[in-house]
Amino acid sequence: MRGMGRVFLRGRTWWIAYMADGREVRESSRSVRPADARALLKRRLGEVVNGRWIAPELRRVSFDDLAALIVRDYEANRRRSLDALKRRLAHLRRAFGGVGAREITSERVRQYVSARLAQRAASATVNRELAALRRMLRLGRLAGRLSALPAITLLREDNARQGFVGPDEFAAIRACLPHYLKDPVTFLYWSAWRPAEMRTLEWRDVEHDAGLIRLRPERSKNYAGRVLPIVGELRAVIERALKNRHPDSPYVFHRRGRRLSRFDAAWRRGAAQAGMPDVLAYDLRRSAVRNLVRAGVSERVAMELSGHKTRRVFDRYNIVSEADLRAALGALAGYLTPRPPAAQAGGHAR
């Protein structure tokens, strides 16, 4: 193989050297037998000729290396979904942890999708995990640590939530919640805020005399500030929070002075106790949007209050219920029902 590559001994291990990408590449055969080194050299030269060669440093990139890349990317960009990313990485790590990046193939990704669906994970949940995996791989390529990416196809999502909570249903679930959650969920039901926005609300954001709450841009999911008037039940909620204000905590809603954490589990228990186990905490936001529109608030103002930037997403929240459809057909029936002749003529003739 003179002129194409060579094998040589380093200590007791045989190594190979060959030309690729305009440079000499040296690679251990991890063997004490020269025949193994010559076989490896022949395989590498074939990969170079056929365009399938991958640099040794790229072969050592693992899933865990890529996971570290995406976490640093989220931290550098101060993305608020870092906690959600870590939950998605936990699922991915069970399948790909310790695996080399080259082994994350399209077929292996398809196997992962099948396994997650068998675990009854929603299509939307699996898609968010796949999106994280795809982002990891792209970051690896941008960093020069990957030369090729597997094809990752997202699932069709037919499971978008369409739930909402009526006033009576909300009252029933609220009654079953721990005391420290009653006012926070009432705030969500009236404000159309996201749970994370409510949990990070501080007293410096409350202009009590002016009757306003200001959501700072850095606290908003889409980095757009909003103003919320303190009226109706919201005023009562804020007054109670003011009476229970913790001297050492900046947060409006807290638990023993500490900022509220995610309360999905407590909500599920309360909803189940109220006989509505399928109702989710995030349905409060959908319900608030729907209530605004049903109350006659213009969609532009409703979007301003809820923080929706696009009609597409807003329309997903402005859900039409069975009662809405019945009311619409009732109105149609009233319009189409024949009226008495006298009424049609504007009165009877004398």
Residue 162 is predicted with a pLDDT of 59
More confident of the two residues 290 and 52: 290
Choice among 5-9, 41-45, 256-260, 278-282 with the minimum mean pLDDT: 278-282
Average pLDDT over residues 156-169: 74
H-helix segments, the chain: 34-50, 56-59, 63-76, 82-96, 106-118, 123-142, 167-175, 179-191, 195-199, 233-243, 264-273, 283-294, 299-306, 311-317, 322-336, 341-345
Q: Does the pLDDT of residue 93 top 90, yes or no?
A: yes
Q: Does the pLDDT of residue 318 top 80, yes or no?
A: no
Residue 283 is predicted with a pLDDT of 87
Give bridge partners of residue 27 from the DSSP assignment: 16
Q: Please give the Cα distance from 175 to 275 (Å, whole number).
A: 12
Q: Does the pLDDT of residue 257 top 60, yes or no?
A: yes
Looking at the domain assignment, is residue 300 inside a domain? yes
Q: What are 179's two structure tokens?
A: 């005391």
Average pLDDT over residues 117-137: 93
Specify the number of domains making up the chain.
Answer: 3
What secondary structure does DSSP assign to 235-295, as a single string?
HHHHHHHHHT--TT--BSSEETTEEP---HHHHHHHHHHTT-TT--TTHHHHHHHHHHHHT
Tens digit of pLDDT for each residue in 216-231? 988 887 778 889 999 9
Average pLDDT over residues 301-305: 82
Same domain, 126 and 248: no
Same domain, 180 and 129: no
Average pLDDT over residues 173-183: 96
Looking at the domain assignment, is residue 346 inside a domain? no
Banded pLDDT at 14 (limits 50, 70, 90): very high
Residue 138 is predicted with a pLDDT of 93
Looking at the domain assignment, is residue 158 inside a domain? no
Q: Please give the Cα distance from 68 to 219 (Å, whole number).
A: 25
Q: Does the pLDDT of residue 37 top 90, yes or no?
A: yes
Same domain, 189 and 315: yes
Q: Does the pLDDT of residue 310 top 60, yes or no?
A: yes
Print the domain residue range for 91.
63-142
Q: What is the CATH number of the domain that holds 270?
A: 1.10.443.10
Residue 106 is predicted with a pLDDT of 93
Q: Does the pLDDT of residue 254 top 90, yes or no?
A: yes
Q: Does the pLDDT of residue 213 top 60, yes or no?
A: yes
Looking at the domain assignment, is residue 345 inside a domain? no
Residue 334 is predicted with a pLDDT of 80
More confident of the two residues 324 and 114: 114
Residue 3 is predicted with a pLDDT of 55
Looking at the domain assignment, is residue 342 inside a domain? no
Selection from 108, 102, 9, 6 nearest residue 53 by Cα = 102
Looking at the domain assignment, is residue 333 inside a domain? no
Q: Does the pLDDT of residue 322 top 70, yes or no?
A: no
Residue 349 is predicted with a pLDDT of 47
Same domain, 73 and 37: no
Q: Does the pLDDT of residue 291 top 60, yes or no?
A: yes
Same domain, 180 and 269: yes
Looking at the domain assignment, is residue 269 inside a domain? yes
Which amino acid is residue 128, in one-letter code? R
Backbone conformation region of residue 99, classed left if phi is above 0, alpha if psi is from -120 to 50, else beta:
beta
Banded pLDDT at 68 (limits 50, 70, 90): very high
Same domain, 38 and 98: no
Give bridge partners of residue 247 from the DSSP assignment: none
Average pLDDT over residues 31-40: 94
Q: What are 42's two structure tokens?
A: 């022949």
Residue 350 is predicted with a pLDDT of 45
